[in-house]
Chain A
Amino acid sequence: TQLLEQSPQFLSIQEGENLTVYCNSSSVFSSLQWYRQEPGEGPVLLVTVVTGGEVKKLKRLTFQFGDARKDSSLHITAAQPGDTGLYLCAGVAAGNKLTFGGGTRVLVKP
């Protein structure tokens, strides 16, 4: 069983602060996805990272895939209340199997 551990489980910050969410595994993934889930909705894909060491930027969000393709991080700069939600990482392994992490619940207070 491939496990993806996310940390922290919960993060509460003030608007304008920065935050980082981590996603770690002992297994290698062919790619890794980050989703955000808002209350009352299903998860929505933010980004996919494929290459070890890859860094992708999406406005104030920066995603990094570890060199060994076992871990990833999501960094949000100058967080806004609209960034509030549950952030999920998901690793794609052989046979297209997708494994989700436990999620990080982010609350950005105005």
Chain B
Amino acid sequence: ETGVTQTPRHLVMGMTNKKSLKCEQHLGHNAMYWYKQSAKKPLELMFVYNFKEQTENNSVPSRFSPECPNSSHLFLHLHTLQPEDSALYLCASSQLVAGGPRVIALAKNIQYFGAGTRLSVL
């Protein structure tokens, strides 16, 4: 148990469906992340939220829409996906340390991952 819970664990959807992935962290962290993990590709960072504000969007197609209503919950809304979007979607949280260069240098940005949602797009 990592303190990060993702639901559902498995999802099969058609290309015209709309669905949402949910992530909840019980660690009191201030940052949350969505990653995509495909076979034969490195873990791809999709979105970063820091104190509920989106701080990073790594050129993710608009058919993926994140939502972070508070620092403990993160959603990924999906619509009109493509078969190549089939993958394991991982949520993570971390405690980012704000401050001067020395404090930032000491911050290790350790990621605590959920078990993921295995998504299949038909």
Contacts and interface: CB of A to CB of B under 8 A. Distances in A.
Task: Say whether chain A's binding surface is mostly helix, strand, loop, or mixed.
Answer: mixed
B2 interface: yes
A59 B113 CA distance: 23
B90 A96 contact: no
A48 to B, nearest CB: 5
Contacts of A101: 42
Contacts of B42: 4, 100-103
A98 interface: yes
A43 interface: yes
Nearest to A38: B115
Interface string B38-79: 000111010000000000000000000000000000000000
Given A88-B43, A98-B45, A102-B41, A42 B109 contact: no
Q: Which bracket fits the contact residues of B?
A: 20 to 34
Nearest to B101: A94
Task: Say whether chain B's binding surface is mostly helix, strand, loop, or mixed.
Answer: loop
Contacts of A98: 45, 109, 111
B109 A92 contact: yes
A50 interface: yes
A4 B42 CA distance: 9
Interface of B: 2, 4, 41-43, 45, 90, 92, 96, 104-105, 107-116
14 contacts: A35-B111, A42-B4, A42-B116, A43-B113, A44-B2, A44-B113, A92-B108, A92-B109, A94-B104, A95-B104, A96-B96, A96-B104, A98-B109, A101-B42
Interface of A: 4, 30-31, 33, 35, 40-45, 48, 50, 88, 90, 92, 94-96, 98, 100-103
